[in-house]
Amino acid sequence: MEGIKTNRIADIVAENAVQASAPCRVDMGGTLDIGTFYYPLQHAGPCTFNMALDMRTTVELEPYRTGWIKVSSRGFESAAYPLDQAPFNHPLGLMFAVASHFNAPGLHIKIDSASPPRSALGGSSVAAVALVGALARARGMAGGEDLNREQIVRRAHRIEETVAGVPCGMQDQLGAAYGGAHTWHWEIAADGLAIRREPVSRAMTPEIFKAHFLVAYCGIPHASKDINGTWVRQFIAGRERQRWIQVAECVRRFSAALNAGQWAAAAIAMNEETALRRVMTPEVLDVIGEDLVTAARDRGCGGRFTGAGGGGCLWAVGAADPIQQLRADWRGILAKRKGAALLDVAPDLEGLQITTRPRRGRGD
């Protein structure tokens, strides 16, 4: 019955503008949100931290050719296919896979991201959350099942993981759906994964963020799959497991320091976590990234890549005076590479937002 109702999504979109947006994030402790890690490390309390930023990815649904699906996204060439032939191994394949899951042909999916393409800020996962949210809302308007935030997170994650063909974490989807700053505890209950959400509210005002944080794009896109793959292979082979326990401890200390406003302690925990990653995979930082992290450490601040590194963005935390001094240092370093720059960002408290309205000329 649900399958019949989902075929009406195109009819709903023809009558209503459906839009969803969600924020990207900076993070620490990632990879511990992959089941390969959090199941065997339950005794060590695996956890990750992320903070949502006000650089949003917006998804709009518009009518399109019957039976077809089209996806347009800044930084990618638009692509259109009959829905039953849409390739999931395409650069936009995750979006095609989400549309196929909802059996939603006849749509043009327009994606506009405020973050740089492949910036290691969780962009593809954020877009998937927004798209799942938009399609679920349209399906609900058609008489089918809508989804709540937790269901949207788990649905978007599962689709992404099956399309990727490799283990994927879930913290990006959580940050996109819930916004704010959180420590996510990856705990196992009797019936499976039970994610515990711990707010880190001290970090989440624009004034505090501006005084104590920096985010920079290093000018080249990231390639996290190879780095994540290395970490997974090492772990499965029995290597580096003690370091992952130390990573979790760094996250706990970092989150506690943020909540207490202990910026120097937060910087120390961040630098220790970055150092552990660099031992396991030196390629997490390129030349510019190394310079940025070194400058942060020299100022008594913390410096870390976002996501799995290998390009994309970096972020820093520290006390007010050192972070302002570091701001000038980072500007000088980033000026050496075309396209690299500090990002003008603030925290995002809203998370996933979905809106619908009758199209012009329809309804009231």
The predicted-structure confidence for 120-132, as pLDDT tens digits, reads as follows: 888 899 999 999 9
What was the pLDDT predicted at 191? Answer: 86
Q: Assess whether 14 and 99 both reside in one domain.
A: yes
Name the nearest CA neighbour of 27 among 273, 193, 301: 273
Q: Is residue 206 part of a domain?
A: yes
What count of residues does the chain have?
A: 364
Does residue 160 sit in the same domain as residue 219?
no
Asked whether 202 and 260 are in contact (CB, 8 A), the reply is: yes
Same domain, 283 and 352: no
State both tokens at 15: 């009558």
Residue 4 has pLDDT above 50, yes or no: no
134-165 confidence digits (pLDDT tens): 999 999 999 999 999 999 999 999 999 999 98
Tokens of 68: 């077809």
Which helix (H) or strand (E) is 217 found in, with range? strand 213-217
Instruction: Look at residue 178 and tell me if it is in a domain.
Output: yes
CA angle, residues 181, 94, 121, in degrees to nearest 5: 30
| CB burial of residue 192 (10 Å; 0-12, 13-18, 19+) | exposed
The total number of structural domains that make up the chain: 2
Assess whether 35 and 162 both reside in one domain. yes
Judged against a pLDDT cut of 80, whether residue 188 lies above it is answered with yes
Using pLDDT thresholds of 50, 70 and 90, give the confidence band for residue 192. Answer: confident
Q: List the one residue out of 309, 341, 277, 53 whose CA is nearest residue 176.
A: 53
Considering the domain architecture, whether residues 192 and 206 belong to the same structural domain is answered as no
* Residue 142 included in any domain: yes
193 and 206 in a single domain? The answer is: no
**Are residues 207 and 120 located together in one domain of the fold?**
no
Q: Are 144 and 90 in contact (CB under 8 A)?
A: no
Percent above pLDDT 90 for the chain: 85
Structure confidence at residue 256 as a pLDDT band (50, 70, 90): very high
For residue 310, tell me if it sits in a domain: yes
pLDDT reading at 1 higher than 50? no
Query: 189 and 243, same structural domain?
Result: no
CATH code of the domain in which 114 resides: 3.30.230.10
Confirm whether 224 is domain-assigned.
Answer: yes
- Are 146 and 132 a contacting pair, CB within 8 Å? no
pLDDT for 361 beyond 70: no
351: left (phi over 0), alpha (psi -120 to 50) or beta: left
Mutual angle of helices 263-280 and 241-260, in 10-degree steps: 160
Which residue is it, tokens 């949210």? 133
Query: Is position 363 within any domain?
Result: no
Q: What is the pLDDT of residue 118?
A: 74
For the chain, what percent of residues have pLDDT higher than 70? 96
Shared domain check, 224 and 294: yes
Question: Given CA atoms 259, 260, 262, 266 in this order, what sign does their dihedral have?
Answer: negative
Tell me, yes or no, whether 86 and 61 share the same domain: yes
Pair (172, 249) in one structural domain: no
Report the pLDDT value the prediction gives residue 75, as an integer from 0 to 100: 80
- For residue 303, tell me if it sits in a domain: yes
Query: Is residue 364 situated within a structural domain?
Result: no
Which range of residues forms the domain containing residue 131?
2-200+348-358
Residues 82 and 174 in one domain: yes
